[in-house]
């Protein structure tokens, strides 16, 4: 997920601080060559870092995230937190009806999660291959812009299909993402023009969280367009029911930095 601060520079030198998606995990250093394209293992070294996992815990919940927690609490669970990290929102989500289950693809944040909450129900697993039965949950959360770390677009579509698979009919999916027109639009344009074969919205640069990152340890993300993410959700059987500003919890506007979107599962995948 998740503010990523990009510096103005040549693409190969593009650097970023982060406040990335809550949704994956952090501790080993793996080169990008070990991460298969089309797998949600993108950015694994970044998310599996103890420093990243603990840093996320210092990020206060935004007004929009607090509204997410209230919105989920008013609906029947159980709740699956996809990309739960080290449990940044655990205390605000744990009382959802039916209970809370967290899943993340890296071991280090889950280790910290269990240290903090010994009775927490957390599982290591990939968002593209969720280790749960069909129709097991009433609610699913893809928080802190975690879907933007799932590359390429075909994998994001698969993650939405997996969320639909594990949700009961009539269940709800809540996700947050950056707003393409309100977040680093100039950098998106530069990256697209200077990187042949890239998808518009792709951003990439060395992460400062990992100490002395090498050239292959770049953080990769995709700033989704509203049209494409909602089309992918519809293809997975979801219909949009609500949305709001991730930072303020107010109305979404063309200038907001990030948005929250709530979907109901009303049909079968197209």
| Burial status of residue 223 (CB atoms within 10 A of its CB: 0-12, 13-18, 19 or more) | buried
Give the closest residue to 18 by CA, choosing from 46, 60, 50: 46
Alpha-carbon span 45 to 32, nearest angstrom = 9
pLDDT per residue rounded down to tens, the chain (270 residues) = 343 333 333 333 333 333 333 333 322 223 333 333 334 568 888 899 899 999 999 999 999 999 999 999 999 999 999 999 999 999 999 999 999 999 999 999 999 999 999 999 999 999 999 999 999 999 999 999 999 999 889 999 999 999 999 999 999 999 999 999 999 999 999 999 988 888 899 998 766 555 544 444 568 899 999 999 999 999 999 999 999 999 999 999 999 999 999 999 997 776
pLDDT at 159: 97
How long, in residues, is the chain? 270
Domains observed in the chain: 4-265 (3.40.50.150)
**Own/partner pairs, 208-216, CB within 8 angstroms, 24+ separation:** 208/15, 208/16, 208/17, 208/18, 209/18, 209/46, 209/49, 209/51, 209/52, 209/55, 210/29, 210/45, 210/46, 210/49, 210/51, 210/52, 214/31, 216/31, 216/32, 216/33
């Amino acid at each position: 997920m998740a503010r990523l601060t990009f510096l103005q520079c040549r693409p190969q030198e593009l650097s970023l601080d982060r406040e990335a998606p809550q949704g994956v995990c952090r501790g080993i250093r793996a080169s990008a060559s070990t991460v298969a394209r089309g797998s949600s293992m993108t950015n694994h070294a970044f998310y599996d870092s103890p420093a990243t996992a603990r840093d996320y815990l210092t990020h206060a919940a935004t007004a929009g995230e607090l509204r997410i927690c209230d919105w989920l609490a008013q609906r029947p669970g159980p709740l699956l937190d996809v990309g739960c990290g080290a449990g940044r929102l655990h205390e605000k989500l744990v009382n959802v009806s039916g209970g809370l289950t967290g899943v993340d693809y890296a071991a280090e944040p889950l280790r910290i999660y269990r240290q903090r909450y010994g009775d927490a129900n957390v599982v290591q697993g990939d968002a593209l291959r969720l280790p749960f039965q069909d129709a097991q949950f009433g609610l699913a959360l893809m928080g802190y812009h975690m879907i933007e770390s799932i590359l390429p677009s075909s994998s994001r579509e698969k993650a939405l299909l997996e969320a639909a698979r594990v949700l009961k009919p009539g269940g709800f999916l809540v996700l947050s993402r950056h707003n393409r027109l309100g977040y680093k639009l100039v950098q998106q344009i530069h990256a697209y023009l200077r990187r042949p074969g890239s998808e518009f919205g792709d951003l990439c640069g060395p992460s400062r969280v990992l100490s002395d990152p090498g050239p292959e340890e770049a953080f990769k993300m995709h700033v989704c367009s509203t049209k494409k993410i909602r089309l992918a959700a519809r293809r997975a059987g979801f219909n949009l029911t609500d949305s709001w500003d991730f930072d303020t919890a107010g109305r979404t506007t063309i200038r907001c930095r990030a948005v929250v979107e709530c979907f109901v599962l009303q049909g079968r995948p197209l």
